[in-house]
Chain A
Amino acid sequence: MIKITDLHKSFGTKHVLRGVNLSVEKGESMVIIGGSGSGKSVLIKHIIGLLMPDKGTLIVDGKDITQLEEKELYEVRKKFGMLFQGAALFDSLKVWENVSFVLLREKRMGTKEAKELAVEKLKMVGLVNVENLMPSELSGGMKKRVGLARAIAHEPEILLYDEPTTGLDPIMADAINELIVEMKSRLAVTSVTITHDMHSAYKIADRIAMLYLGQIIETGTPDEIKNTKNPVVGQFITGSAVGPIKLEGIDEISVIRT
């Protein structure tokens, strides 16, 4: 479904992606883990064509999206739904208008139908009686749910989750994990999630890939990752400050230990 080959991207002098190779099968839930600043967000933004690589190919459903005209790119994007870290709801629109955004714009249906559909999608993510509220009236967890409802409203084939549990309390985070698992089984979608929350990764992943220094250094099922022999992956999944991973801006780990 998605095949990334030798993807490179630099911002100024910062070489963020240094030859990423990754493939995601149809119907699979792929979770990409990595530290802050490892380029996870940059990678996921390439998958949906928000950023264009300096080098490399990115094939989605048989099409190399790095080679597409703007119009074709927008067509390919209709296959995607994306949940943003901060939900990115349009704050000038009501909740239901957010959810039915694409449907209303493409005039696929009338206002009344679109609203009914929004209510139905909101119910799917566990929200009732919020359709007439403004996004600013919602809590963080509710916003993420609305964001998810918006991402699934046009029935995409691929869902992208940008740090879905970041900034939520543990119970709400788990509820979001449950939703992601449910979406996969109910909608049979392919999904790519980026996160640094290992609890979440184990729960939602069919396979986990670790991004480190701009490359995918290991890919495997959750069990394989748990039993990794790679010291970098081992350090990351156990969440230890001591190990081979260099923290940006901190030269010596011993400095923080003393």
Chain B
Amino acid sequence: MRPVESLGRYIIAFTEELGSVLLLLSSTVKQIIVPPLEMKNILRQMVEVGIKSLPVVLITAIFTGMVLALQSYTGFKRFGAQSMVASVVALSMTRELGPVLTGLIVAGRAGAAMAAELGTMRVTEQIDALETLATNPVKYLIVPRFLSGLIMLPALAIVSDIIGIIGGYAITVGLFGTSSTSYWKRTWDFLNIEDIYYGLIKACFFGGCIALISCYKGFYSEGGAQGVGKATTGAVVLSSMAILISDYFLSVWLFK
């Protein structure tokens, strides 16, 4: 095959897709501004994205905090810096792991569900049916999912931050016998409010990305059951990539 040609084709396809996602974003934002808001649908999606993701987020956060404390404790012990464990856990959770891990979980759970549901609605003509019933499908379907992503991701991330730090506490204090007061002191010594705040901005961005990408994939899926499957896979892969890549650039920008 001709490598230059296929690379070119790939870049064109990618740019086209990015353009369509941005167009969908602009019509979504436009539909948010136009009243009324679909409160019933928004609440339902907030439960879907937020409440139902909570158990997985809790388990992930507690074990992440625990393993973080375990690894850094044994590592730092080699040069006598065990006292820094609490700070490492607190900073890692709030700046990076809280938002990113929550994002990846929501992408896998709620993002996949969004793409599959909208994809099925597309191939069974339910989206066309909405249009014939004089209902804008972007307003009815995508706006609630987008808003719930924006709102619930930071909410989940903050829970994840707290639970991760508690996980670190359990290992450092419970297993290694560090004093409880010094753990909390070390946690607060190095943790600024910006660390938490910027982490939540990241989470908010990830939430928007996941909802937008997953809705886009589902909304424009075609080709029956296979198409829905492809849309779902695409939504999870693309959202996860978007989270990991944008995380780097957001970190450069926020924590410079």
Contacts and interface: CB of A to CB of B under 8 A. Distances in A.
A50 to B, nearest CB: 5
Nearest to B131: A50
Nearest to A82: B132
B134 A88 contact: no
Interface in A54-81: 70, 74-75, 77-78, 80-81
Interface stretch (B122-130, B174-182, B192-200): B122-130
B126 A88 contact: yes
Residue of A77, A88, A150 with most chain B CB atoms under a 10 A cut-off? A88
Q: How large is the interface on B (under 10, 10 to 19, 20 to 34, 35 or more residues)?
A: 10 to 19
A88 B133 contact: no
Contacts of B121: 90
A148 to B, nearest CB: 13
A86 B129 CA distance: 11
Contact of B133 (A45, A85, A102, A160): A102
Interface string B116-152: 0000010011101111111110000000000000000
A77 B67 CA distance: 58
B134 A84 contact: no
Contacts of A70: 136
Nearest to B41: A92
A89 B128 CA distance: 11
Contacts of B124: 86, 88
B27 to A, nearest CB: 10
A105 interface: yes
A82 B128 CA distance: 10
A105 B136 CA distance: 11
A101 interface: yes
B132 A74 contact: no
Contact of A88 (B129, B135, B136): B129
Contacts of A90: 121, 126, 129-130
B134 A74 contact: yes
A71 to B, nearest CB: 10
A48 interface: yes
Contacts of B133: 77, 101-102, 105, 150, 154
B134 A82 contact: no
Nearest to A107: B36
Interface of B: 121, 124-126, 128-136
8 contacts: A50-B132, A77-B132, A82-B129, A84-B125, A84-B129, A86-B124, A91-B126, A150-B133
Can you list the 5 inter-chain pairs with the closest CB atoms, starting with the nearest?
Answer: A88-B129, A88-B125, A82-B132, A74-B134, A77-B134
